């Protein structure tokens, strides 16, 4: 007869196998027709506009991503936070960025008394939990490669926030051989810029992140575990750099200029059903010159800039193709959910002229920003750019690909339900059969803010009941159903748009619907207090300027320094 304690051990072991989705049980689940715990791969790109991919209307060839879209679902109304650090914090935690401590960048912000503001700690706080921390409890192998950018210098690291394996740079860059490479960390070990710990001496980041992603997948398979891989590209962020032969491939392709190319993207988007033909294309902003007004020399310079951007983005597409081929060769593609999205809209930093420095623009020693003129193209058909909460700043493509679970009728479908980064945690928890914790490491954890996207994969309604909220650098917005309230800057007036009729935000309804503006603004203020948004950027809790003149003066003096530091990231 088996002793009682051994029977208890056996029962507990069985429960553990069920909970972790051990390989035999996962195989049995698959044999029964129900997908086993899926592998999950989240691919994030940096500073890519809503219309840059071929499958979202762009002229840059992205055949591998287009193939994922053709066999998956494209979301047409998905949102990020409008900036890199906040987006990463929100993606990883399922919270709005201020709740996770990342309301701005990686430098803490302080009140007049010198205390760090809880929404602006510059790193993930201990009242948040990350997707890998949660999925590990459900038996997942967790890995990340690429740009981290959520407070590594302050002590928040991938290996300290749930990742079993990681190869990361604290911020980002392309770092060609001979260039100013990033410092890399392999599973928590500082390996310099390469040449240590098996990391090659010479590398291009877009390739390196994928190479190590596949290595980590092999480790997960050796341990017979489902895996979560977060692959965070720095491309196509400035300083834009790409192989010379790939840049040459795109030279001359943008000589039609932003005016004609934007009209062509807009026409393709309408034809594909991505946008409604009743939404007018936003006009060229004041300051951006008509392409036809430029000299041939100026046009050539701008063409060269965009060729470098296109080469960097096309290289990402190639790397996605390698990842997909690797998953297929390993027999893992069918039951892997791949999510591909961007951290913010096209980037207008460096203004109208952009930046085009270096003897050989696009190489490891150059500094290239595409600037506002090309960002205007990248965000077709929307208004504004990275940093802002108008659609051009916060709209992101989202491609979801999961052959084992998406009905054949949904493959190639467009999903119009609004979604947000906060939904990725809820989706992962749902698919993994994990339990989102109320406490973690003896700390109370804030409830996740999003809803699972699983129903949308099958064409069913999402369970969203709350509005979607935004704030960055005083720019703010709220979306509830088709109504969007949006503000330019902390002291700007609220604008109101009906996105079903006017997603390009051309017809401000605030003057004709003041009661709705007041209602939505009250909801935003209530959320802002709950989510640690206020006080922010010199605003006190009541929205008035901070009372301490010295604090305001110090903030103004520090603004240029912070801007310069942020530009490097």
CATH of domain 43-465: 3.40.720.10
Query: pLDDT value at position 534?
Result: 77
pLDDT in tens, 509-526: 999 999 999 999 999 999
Token pair listed for 530: 């709950």
Query: pLDDT value at position 180?
Result: 66
Rounded to an integer, the average pLDDT of 330-337 is: 98
Cβ pair 304, 361 in contact under 8 A: yes
The residues, ordered by sequence, that sit 6+ positions from 541 with a Cβ below 8 Å of its Cβ are 529, 534, 535
Query: pLDDT value at position 569?
Result: 37
Residue 536 above 90 pLDDT? no
What is the CA angle 338-343-345, rounded to 5?
120
pLDDT in tens, 370-387: 999 999 999 999 999 999
**Catalytic site includes residue 149:** yes
Rounded to an integer, the average pLDDT of 401-420 is: 97
Evaluate if pTM is beyond 0.75. yes
The dihedrals phi and psi of 208, each to the nearest 5 degrees, come to -60, -45
Rounded to an integer, the average pLDDT of 388-405 is: 98
**Catalytic site includes residue 84:** yes
pLDDT in tens, 501-510: 999 999 999 9
Residue 293 above 90 pLDDT? yes
Query: pLDDT value at position 206?
Result: 97
Query: pLDDT value at position 77?
Result: 98
Burial of 482 (0-12, 13-18, 19+ CB in 10 A): middle
Rounded to an integer, the average pLDDT of 215-231 is: 98
Query: pLDDT value at position 546?
Result: 31
Instruction: Report the range out of 10-14, 112-116, 256-260, 487-491 with the highest average pLDDT.
Output: 256-260
Q: Which of 64, 98, 149, 304 is catalytic?
A: 149
Token pair listed for 244: 């010379």
Query: pLDDT value at position 35?
Result: 67
Residue 8 above 60 pLDDT? no
Query: pLDDT value at position 1?
Result: 37
Domain ranges of the chain: 43-465
Query: pLDDT value at position 458?
Result: 96
Cβ pair 250, 310 in contact under 8 A: yes
Residue 539 above 70 pLDDT? no
Q: Which of 55, 84, 85, 373 is catalytic?
A: 84
Q: What is the mean pLDDT of the chain?
A: 89
């Amino acid at each position: 007869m088996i002793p009682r304690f051994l029977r208890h051990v056996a029962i507990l072991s069985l429960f553990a196998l069920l909970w972790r989705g051990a390989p035999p049980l996962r195989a049995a689940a698959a044999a029964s027709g129900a997908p086993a715990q899926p592998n999950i791969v989240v691919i994030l790109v940096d500073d890519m506009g809503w219309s840059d991919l071929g499958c979202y209307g762009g002229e840059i060839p992205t055949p591998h991503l287009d193939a994922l879209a053709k066999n998956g679902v494209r979301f047409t109304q998905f949102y990020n936070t409008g900036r890199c650090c906040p987006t990463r914090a929100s993606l990883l935690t399922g919270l709005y960025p201020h709740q996770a401590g990342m309301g701005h960048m990686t430098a803490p912000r302080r009140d007049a008394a010198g205390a760090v503001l809880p929404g602006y700690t510059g790193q993930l706080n201990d009242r948040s939990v990350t997707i890998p921390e949660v999925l590990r409890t459900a038996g997942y192998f967790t890995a990340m490669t690429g740009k981290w950018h959520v407070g590594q210098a302050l002590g928040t690291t991938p290996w300290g926030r749930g990742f079993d394996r990681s190869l990361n740079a604290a911020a980002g860059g392309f770092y060609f051989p001979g260039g100013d490479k990033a410092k890399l960390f392999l599973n928590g070990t500082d390996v310099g810029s390469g040449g240590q710990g098996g990391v090659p001496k010479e590398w291009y980041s877009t390739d390196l992140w994928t190479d190590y992603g596949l290595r980590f997948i092999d480790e997960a398979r050796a341990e017979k575990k489902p895996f979560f891989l977060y692959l965070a590209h720095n491309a196509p962020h400035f300083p834009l750099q790409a192989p010379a032969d790939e840049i040459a491939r795109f030279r001359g392709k943008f000589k039609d200029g932003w005016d004609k190319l934007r009209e062509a993207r807009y026409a393709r988007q309408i034809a594909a059903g991505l946008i409604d033909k009743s939404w007018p294309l936003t006009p060229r902003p004041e300051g951006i010159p008509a392409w036809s007004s430029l000299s041939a020399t100026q046009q050539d310079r701008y063409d060269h800039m965009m060729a470098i951007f296109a080469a960097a983005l096309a290289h990402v597409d190639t790397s996605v193709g390698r990842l997909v081929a690797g998953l297929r060769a390993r027999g893992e593609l069918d039951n892997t959910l791949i999510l591909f999205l961007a951290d913010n809209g096209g980037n207008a930093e460096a203004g109208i002229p952009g930046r085009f420095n270096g003897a050989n623009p696009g190489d490891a020693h150059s500094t290239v920003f595409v600037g506002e003129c090309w960002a205007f193209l990248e965000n077709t058909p929307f208004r504004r750019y990275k940093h802002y909460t108008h659609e051009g700043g916060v709209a992101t493509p989202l491609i979801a690909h999961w052959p084992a679970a998406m009905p054949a009728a949904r493959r190639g479908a467009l999903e119009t339900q609004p979604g947000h980064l906060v939904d990725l945690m809820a989706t992962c928890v749902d698919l993994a059969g994990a339990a989102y914790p109320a406490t973690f490491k003896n700390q109370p954890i804030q409830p996740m803010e999003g809803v699972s996207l699983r129903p949308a994969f099958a064409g069913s309604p999402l369970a969203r009941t709350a509005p979607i909220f935004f704030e960055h650098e005083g720019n703010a917005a709220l979306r509830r159903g088709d109504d969007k309230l949006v503000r330019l800057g902390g002291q700007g007036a609220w604008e109101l748009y009906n996105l079903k009729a006017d997603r390009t935000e051309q017809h401000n309804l605030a003057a004709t619907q003041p009661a709705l503006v007041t209602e939505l603004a009250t909801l935003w203020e209530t959320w802002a207090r709950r989510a640690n948004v206020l006080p922010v950027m010199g605003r006190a809790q009541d929205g008035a300027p901070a009372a301490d003149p010295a604090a305001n003066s110090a903030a103004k003096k520090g603004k240029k320094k912070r801007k310069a530091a942020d530009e490097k990231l």
